[in-house]
Amino acid sequence: MSEPRDERLSAGRVASHLAVMVAVAAILGVVVAGLAIPFAGVLGVGARNVAKAMDNLPAELETDPLPQRTKLIDAAGNTIATFYDENRVNVSLDQVSRTMIESIISIEDARFYQHGALDLKGTVRALVTNQANSGVVQGGSSITQQMVKMTLQTQAHTKAERAAATEDTYARKLKELRYAIAFEQKHSKDWILERYLNIAYFGDGTYGIQSAARHYFGVNAKNLNLRQSAMLAGLVKNPSGYDPTNSPDRALERRNVVLDRMAQLNVITREKADKAKEMKLGLHVVPAKNGCVNSQAPFFCDYAWNYLLADPSLGKTVGQRRRTLKSGGLTIQTTIDLRDQRAADESVGNHVAPTDQAIGALAMVEPGTGDVKAVAQSRPMGSIKKDGQTYLNYVVPSKYGDSAGFQAGSTFKIFVLASAINNGTSLNTTIASPQTKDIPMSDFPDCDGNFASTDVWNVNNSTGEGTFNLYTGTQNSVNTFFAQLEERTGLCQPFKLAKSMGIELTDPDRERVPSFTLGVPNVSPLEMAEAYATVAARGLHCSSRPVTAILDSEGRTLKEYPKDCKQVMPKGTADAVNDILRGVQETGFGAQAGIALDQPSAGKTGTINDNMAVWFCGYTPNLATASMIAGANSLGQPITLNGQTLAGQYVVSAHGSTTAGPMWGDAMKKISAWLPDEDFVTPASDIVNGVQVSVPSTSGMSVDQAESTLEDAGFYPTVSSPVNSGSSEGTVAYTSPSGGSYASKGSSVTIYPSNGRPPRGHGGGGGGGQDHGGRGGR
């Protein structure tokens, strides 16, 4: 027997209502079920259970600061690189155009300012509208609910947290609702909307409205117009699907939906909406640059990045420091001068090509501050892989870069030179320097006794032989001169001085050896620039620094990196070294190579064995630059530069002055146009002449006794061939300078032994009690 018609209709209506509730519940999820008990019943979720679940949830959600990109800037405020995990720049709501605010509210939550955490009326209307349009047109969740979901996803750091933030469960939806209610109770609508606009993902790796405005249109969020705002508002629902860089047609269609919605709500007129719909997207995409690879100064950037990662004040571990730098929205003020950097890059590129079997490098340091002004190398860093490119930084010390360093050749002679001058050696002190000289290694004083070796060091010159003083011996870079000068200073003092000037010497057994003066330790160009900057600053050593300060996202100073300077050399000594090395530029190798500047400058060449690396370290009173070209195959292994082709030019034999020097000169000649005109301080006469000491009288002494006496007085004795004299054979006839005269401490004193035969015209008397200054043998 069939049911009465009215009862059947009533049952149909109930079924229909239930179907609608199921559909709504399916879309709204348990959020609606928790507030509308019939829905909970439909879904099989008891109201009591829902209420209990809600009560067990935390009342509030702590909001961490949103990850923001960090930027490196130069002294003038120009951005040279950005770092981020999420490309975001937070802005306040008053920094967002009104049109953008209206667009996002219209399409995502039209009654945002009228409802609480949940908009039931808007949600049902969205359901009906979406069904009528056979697709999703309007969103169901409120802006507050969406912001909660984005916050949970952003603050999920572990795999389990990320899974919980995205799982499709009643528990997640209940939690989001509870948090949304808490946000509405604790914060203003403006605060919620501001966070929403800053946290939202807008596609193509861009987070937040400011970054999106800059990325897609090259404007700030405050200046977004209607068509731009509508497009960005349309992205939030499906950032990947509506990404205008990949799907411009879909992005245009979605933008027009937003415009229609704004007209429907009378936010804009229909005429204005139609006019905007006729326009193209108007994209002006500014590619997002993350990291050093696309920087204006990639290797300086890499150096600064590693410098900061080594700073424990930025986090207990390297991982923590990296997260701080990539998400803190920091502004890192650096020391780079982009004009210097461009000059360095241009010169390096003109002298060594990326695919050459060599590495060219320039490092620039400001004397008196340690500020690193430029770091350049010939093998570039690039985002598109090409031959000759590398991510390895060869210019900076190994703790910040990727190279173990290169031998620096004769550029190390300044450490022995300065040590000798420190000891009171006159700049006019002469040393006979043959083409080759064998010196027992045990003759070199070390930090504790003499150098422990039975080997003999065979030293050779590549620049001729003769008698040289500190000026000419340095300007001609005479190896046998400096080997003998190092005998006088010993190894300990030059080694310690080099360390105090910024050379990272860590292995004395290998580095503090007689050949130290010829540059056998491995160093980086930046270390050598720092050391020569010390001399330029009159003996004031300042540790190299690429960063001066870190500011937070509000522009407040978080940390400063002040100058780290210490006087490591007497000013008079530095003045003397400067006076000697400026001769290299004015009359020596620098002048001969045509690399002298229009303002006072000084420098020193360096070439290592087999011409595997060549150097020129030069400076003005306000900028020190180390130029290096090292032979290296594609794997970075050292090879000779002889016979190589550098930037299209065949090199028969590489030298510091003619190969590395021009690369230094081309950069510095351009830079000198904006360097202040300063001169070096002329060394005082007592420094030039050295400490004057009375030469002991040694006439009649044995040669061994005379050598010991002269050494104790601070002189360096050498023994000549015997001469005619009435003194007993084998004893001292005289010295030059003579006993009783004054000479600079550290000077050579030549001993002339007697052969026991009186000079012609003298009687057989002794007559050997006098020293005769300046006499040669007859």
Please give the span between the terminal C-alpha atoms of the chain, in angstroms, as a whole number. 153
Q: Is the pLDDT of residue 39 over 80?
A: no
Model confidence at 315: pLDDT above 80:
yes
> For position 29, what pLDDT does the model report?
44
Average pLDDT of the segment spanning 411-429:
94
Query: Given this model, what pLDDT does residue 596 score?
Result: 86
pLDDT(170) > 90: no
Q: Which pLDDT belongs to residue 110?
A: 93
> Percentage of the chain with pLDDT > 90?
65
Element (H, E) at 533: helix 525-536
Alpha-carbon span 745 to 739, nearest angstrom = 14
Any idea which of 88-92, 422-426, 763-767 has the lowest mean pLDDT?
A: 763-767
Segment 556-578 mean pLDDT: 94
Torsion, CA 418, CA 421, CA 427, CA 430, rounded to 10: -90
Lowest-confidence region among 12-16, 305-309, 357-361, 382-386:
12-16
d(CA 627, CA 350): 13
What average pLDDT does the chain have?
A: 86
At position 328, the amino acid (one-letter code) is G
Sign of the alpha-carbon torsion through 605, 609, 611, 612: negative
User: If DSSP codes are grouped into helix, strand and coil, which group holds residue 71?
Assistant: strand
Position 133 scores a pLDDT of 58
Residue 628 has pLDDT above 90, yes or no: yes
**Span 304-328, average pLDDT:** 94
* CB-based contacts of 87, cutoff 8 Å, min separation 6: 69, 205, 206, 207, 211, 215, 288, 290
CA 778, chain centre distance (Å): 65
Secondary element (H or E) of residue 547: strand 547-551
pLDDT digits (tens, 9 = 90+) for 272-293: 999 999 999 999 998 888 899 8
Q: Identify which of 551, 70, 525, 517 has the alpha carbon closest to the alpha carbon of residue 322.
A: 70
Residue 380 pLDDT: 86
* CA-angle at 162, arms to 161 and 165, nearest 5°: 85
Please return the burial class of 103, using the count of CB atoms within 10 Å of its CB with bins 0-12, 13-18 and 19+. Answer: buried
User: pLDDT digit string (tens) for 104-138?
Assistant: 999 999 999 998 777 766 555 555 555 555 544 44
Helices and strands in the chain, H and E counts:
28, 25
Percent of the chain with pLDDT over 70: 86
Q: How far apart are CA 560 and CA 548, in angstroms?
A: 6
> Which strands sit side by side in the sheet containing 331-334, from one edge to the other?
79-83, 70-73, 331-334, 547-551, 557-560
> In this structure, what token pair is assigned to residue 318?
């390297």
Tens of pLDDT along 51-86? 555 555 555 677 888 899 999 999 889 999 999 999
pLDDT digits (tens, 9 = 90+) for 568-618: 999 999 999 999 999 888 777 777 878 888 899 999 999 998 899 999 999
Report the candidate in 500, 518, 505 with the shortest Cα–Cα distance to residue 414: 518
Give per-residue pLDDT as tens, 529-555.
Answer: 999 999 999 999 999 999 999 999 889
At 748, the pLDDT band (50, 70, 90 cuts) reads: confident
* CB 217 within 8 Å of CB 284: yes
Of 47-51, 95-99, 334-338, minimum mean pLDDT range: 47-51
* Token pair 């003298």 in the structure block, residue: 762
Amino acid at 392: L
Residue 490 φ/ψ, nearest 5 degrees: 80, 175
pLDDT value for 376: 96
Domains of the chain: 5-55 (no CATH), 88-277 (1.10.3810.10), 691-753 (3.30.10.20)
Whether residue 509 has pLDDT greater than 60: yes
pLDDT at 771 over 50: no
